[in-house]
Structure 1
Amino acid sequence: MRTKNRLNPVESIYYTPEITHCPKCEGKLTYCHPVWRKTISTLKGEFKVINLGYRCENNSCDNHIVYRSAEAEQLSMKHITYGMDVIAHIGHLRFKEHKTRLEITDILTEKQIKISERQVQKLYERYALLLRSSVEENTKEILEKVVEESDGLILSIDGVQPEKGNETLYVIREVLSGTVLAAHNLKSSASQELVGIIQPIINWGYPIQGFISDGQQSIRLAIEKVAPNIPYQYCQFHYFKDIAKPLVEKDRKLKTNIKKKLRGIRDIERKIEESPSESLEDEIASDYVAAIRSVLLEDGKPPFELPGTRVYERTKSIKDSIEKCLDKKGDSFT
C-alpha cells in the first residue's frame, strides 16, 4: 500500500527546457507531456516540481528527442525527495563542523526539514558518492600545470567517520590546486587498505614533493610502504591544535564561567515585558539584553579563534558601554 506523502509543498514550480528550438532543423519546440513531477524538500521549503517535456513540432524532422530542463534535473538526485542543497549542507555539517548524525538531524529539524537519522545517513552516503565522482575531467591538465609551476604535487590524506562502527571516508587531495584525487569509503582504517587508494595515484607518475596528514598511525605506515623516500609532514593545523589543548581547556572554562554569570538576563527581560509603559530606558535595556543573548551564542574555532576569549572581549565591551550610559545618565541629573 502506498504511504501518504509526508511533504506539504508550499507551491508548484514548472520548468521548461533551456532551449526553445530544435538543434537539427531549427523548428520550434512545443510542449508534449510532463517528464516527471515530485515534491522536493529544500533548505528554502518544500516545493512540487514539474519538469515539462518539449519536442520538435516539425513532422518532417527526424529528431524525436523529448527535451527537459537541465536546471530542474539538478535540483535533486533520482529517487531522492531532498534537494541537492540539503545533501550539500549535510556534507558541510559532517566534514567541516564534524557533527554527528543526531546533531545534523536536530539542525535540519530546526530548519523545518522533516528528516530522520536514518535519512541523514542515507543522504550522507549519497554525498560521499558524489564526492567520489567529482574528480574533474580536466584533472590531468590541472596536475600537469601544478607540476610545471611547483615541480611536484603535495598530497593530503584525511579520513572522516560519520558514526562509530560505520565506514570511514578517506579523501586524497592535491594541496596546491585543491583538487580531489580520490575519495573512498573504507570499512577498515588498516594501512593495507590505505595502500590500495594511495598506490594508484603514485602510479600516475607525477612527481610528489610530500604527504600531509593528521598523524594517524595507519596513514603514516601506508605512506612508508608505498613511498618511503617521499617526505611526510604532520598537518600544521592538527599540530597547533594538539599543543594548544591546555590553553583551549582553560579557554573553555573561561567561557563556561562567563556564561553562568549571564544566565540571569531572563529576569531582566520579564521586568521589561511587565513594564506598564515603554520608556527610553526599557528600550536601551532591551538592546543590551539582545547583545548579551548574542554573546551566549558566540563560538569560535580553536586553536586560532578561542571562543572563551571572544566571549570575554564582547562582554567587556558591553560592560564598558553600560558604564558609559550610567555615567551620562548621572551627569544629566547634576
Structure 2
Amino acid sequence: MPAKPSEIKKATIHTYWDSKEGLVCPLCASQLQHEFNNGGRKIITLKGPVWVVTNYYSCVNLKCEMHEAFPAAYHSAMQRKRFSLEVWAKVIQHHFKHHLNYSTTVDLMWDDWDVSISRNTVRSICEFFEMAGKQYTDQKVLKEVQSSGRIVLSLDGAQPVKNEPSLWVFSDRLTGNVLLARNLESAPASTLCSIFQEIEMLYSAPIVAIISDKQKSIVNSVKQFKPDIPHAYCQYHFLNHIAEPIASKDSHLKKILRKFVKQLSIIQNSKHADSNGLYKLFHPIS
C-alpha cells in the first residue's frame, strides 16, 4: 500500500459513496457493498498537494452492470491523472483563452499557484482537451460543408514563438469555414496526409482540391493523399516570395558598395571629419 508523503500536511481525504438513498445501486436498486480502497494517491491542486484515498464499491446483483468494483471518485481528481481538475482548467485557460505558449504557461503556474508542472505535461493536457473537443463538431459548419458536398482545402502553419509548436489551420474555401486547427511540433508529409483523411471522415465530404504554399512537406503530403487532385499555390505566398531573389541581389550589391566606400581615403582617415563634408556624407554608411 502506498504511504502518504511527509510533505503533504493537509488531512487525508477519503472518498465514500454519498447518496441520500444510502448504499443502494442506482441501476437496479440492489445493495451496494464496500470492496476495497486504493491506499491513497497524491493529487496536486491549486492549493497544494493532497492525499486522496479512494474507496471502491460493487453491486451485489451479479447481473448488474455495476457488479464490478467501481470508485467513489473525488470530485477534483481525474482518473490516473496526477493534477486536479482545476489545474487542468487553469492550463487550458492559459493556452486556449489567453493564447499563451506552453513555456509561458509553465512559468505562470509556478508564479501564481506554486504548481510545478513540466512543459510536456502542459502540452499533453492541451492535446487531450483538443482531442476531446473534436467530438463536438460545430453542427452549422458540418451542415454547410455537407450541403456543399466537397471541400477545397486551404492550409497554412505559423510559429508565433520560436521552439514552440506551430499552429496549423485547415479551412474550406467554398464555405469559408475553419474545419480544423492543430498545434504541431512538426508537420511531415505523413502527418498532414493523416489530417486530410481525418477531415474527410469528420465532415463526410471529399477534398477535391488543395491550396497552400509550396512547402515541400505539403507538396509531398498531397502526392501521398490524392496525387490527381489540383494543388494550387497561394498567390499571397507566391507574391510574398517573388521579390526574394531581387532582394538577395540588392543586399549583395549593398555590401559591395559599402566595402568600396569604406576603402576611400576620406572615409579611412577620420582626422578630416571636421573639415571634409564628404566624410560626413559617407560616415552613416560605415
In structure 2, give the amino acid aligned to 1:21: V
Q: Tell me what 2:197 maps to.
A: 200
Higher helix share: 1
Deviation track 1:234-260 (CA, whole Å, cap 9, x = no partner) reads 7xxxxxxxxxxxxxxxxxxxxxxxxxx
Deviation track 1:107-127 (CA, whole Å, cap 9, x = no partner) reads 1123323305xx232232343
Q: 1:27 aligns with which of 27, 30, 39?
A: 30
2:91/2:105 contact within 8 Å kept = yes
The CA distance in 2 between the partners of 1:9 and 1:156, in whole Å, is 53
The CA distance in 2 between the partners of 1:140 and 1:45, in whole Å, is 37
2:200/2:207 contact within 8 Å kept = no
The CA distance in 2 between the partners of 1:38 and 1:158, in whole Å, is 44
| Paired residue secondary structure (1:111) | helix
Q: 1:51 aligns with which of 50, 54, 58?
A: 54
Deviation track 1:87-139 (CA, whole Å, cap 9, x = no partner) reads 343344345544344432331123323305xx232232343245336532x76
User: How far 1:12 sits from its partner (Å)?
Assistant: 2.6
2:102/2:123 contact within 8 Å kept = no
The CA distance in 2 between the partners of 1:125 and 1:209, in whole Å, is 33
Q: Tell me what 2:187 maps to.
A: 189
The CA distance in 1 between the partners of 2:169 and 2:6, in whole Å, is 37
TM-score (norm 2): 0.52
The CA distance in 2 between the partners of 1:89 and 1:28, in whole Å, is 39
In structure 1, give the amino acid aligned to 2:109: L
1:16/1:51 contact within 8 Å kept = no
Please give the residue correspondences for 1:1-334 in structure 2 after superposition, counting only pairs within 5 Å: 4=5, 6-9=7-10, 12=13, 14-16=15-17, 21-22=24-25, 25-35=28-38, 37-43=40-46, 45-56=48-59, 58=60, 61=62, 63=64, 64-69=67-72, 72=75, 75-78=77-80, 80-116=81-117, 119-132=118-131, 134-136=133-135, 145-149=143-147, 157=155, 164=162, 170=168, 172=170, 180=180, 185-186=184-185, 188-190=186-188, 192-201=189-198, 204=201, 206-207=205-206, 217=215, 221=219, 227-228=229-230
Identity rate, percent = 21
Cα 1:185–1:148, aligned 2, differ >3 Å: closer, same or farther? closer
The CA distance in 1 between the partners of 2:4 and 2:24, in whole Å, is 40
1:15/1:51 contact within 8 Å kept = yes
TM-score (norm 1): 0.46
Q: Between Structure 1 and Structure 2, whose CA radius of gyration is higher? A: 2
| Paired residue secondary structure (2:123) | helix
The CA distance in 2 between the partners of 1:15 and 1:156, in whole Å, is 52
| Paired residue secondary structure (2:41) | strand
Cα 1:134–1:144, aligned 2, differ >3 Å: closer, same or farther? closer
In structure 2, give the amino acid aligned to 1:27: S
1:155/1:212 contact within 8 Å kept = yes
Unaligned runs of 5+ in 2: 237-286
1:209/1:230 contact within 8 Å kept = no
